Amino acid sequence: MAIFKGAGVAIVTPMKANGDVNFEKLSEIIEDQIAGQTDAIIICGTTGESSTLTHEEHLEVIRHCIKQVAKRVPVIAGTGSNCTETAIYLSKEAEEAGADAVLLVTPYYNKATQKGLIAHYTAVANSISLPVVLYNVPSRTGCNLAPATVAALVRDVENIVGIKEASGDISQVAQLMHLTEGKIELYSGNDDQVVPLLSLGGIGVISVVSNVAPKYMHDMVMKYLDGDMQGSMKMQLDAIPLCKALFCEVNPIPVKAAMNMQGKEVGPLRSPLTEMEPENQKLLKNIMKDMGIL
């Protein structure tokens, strides 16, 4: 049984003006997401600024999310690291806290070989009993998870069950689904490629756009899965300007700006990320107005 089908939100981590995590606001935006029919909460991923959270904060945010969600939707904890032992530590703690699955980004900066990736993922997955979702985003990590590597991991490691694919390479995704014989839970990691990946056997998206439009993204996926491919395709194409605007600067700069425009008061970003440029904010605001989400 799939961890989830539909649109899971790669949720932001709200901050106070002084840079501390705003746990009260996190509870509010989690409730907004559940009310908006989001299908899963993905906590402490890239969009959640996990790279600038201490290990203690990282785990505190995961625990808070799990407690707030209270099993109403699945919680997938981002516990990846470029250090295998750190990923094992975070994953064990997330399992103990009650997460439903973990999301493991490829090791960044040190750029492991494919052999190294197999060893890394096998060690982390074997340290827990939770389902594992791999996360391939070479534009950020400098490390590509090859289809043959994914196929080997899915074949040999029982609890590696899914992948968030954000390579942007549709041919690579097709090869991945061919080599795994479709026996993997495929989630788009790019909001502008949801329908193309659904057409290759995908079952959903782990979405940045869902932070500002959870029901829209949920409906787009569900239309496709329910057989309304034309309706889903129209929603995908209509959302392209918003997708582009939310990635015109490094994620999560634009999405936090968008949520603050919506009055959600998710606060600033942690350095070295900076606030969105005024001209880009103006463009984003106009697109959100056009879509009726502002």
Residues annotated as catalytic are 135, 164
Beta partners for residue 133, in sequence order: 103, 162
Task: Give the span between the Cα atoms of 19 and 16, in whole angstroms.
Answer: 5
Q: How far is CA 87 from CA 29, 90, 109, 294, in A?
A: 27, 5, 15, 38
Tokens representing 111 are 């750029």
Is 177 exposed, middle or buried (CB count within 10 Å of its CB: 0-12, 13-18, 19+)? Answer: buried
HEC sequence for the chain: CCCCCEEEEECCCCECCCCCECHHHHHHHHHHHHHCCCCEEEECCCCCCHHHCCHHHHHHHHHHHHHHHCCCCCEEEECCCCCHHHHHHHHHHHHHHCCCEEEEECCCCCCCCHHHHHHHHHHHHHCCCCCEEEEECHHHHCCCCCHHHHHHHHHHCCCEEEEEECCCCHHHHHHHHHHCCCCCEEEECCHHHHHHHHCCCCCEEEECHHHCCHHHHHHHHHHHHCCCHHHHHHHHHHCHHHHHHCCCCCCCHHHHHHHHHCCCCCCCCCCCCCCCCHHHHHHHHHHHHHHCCC
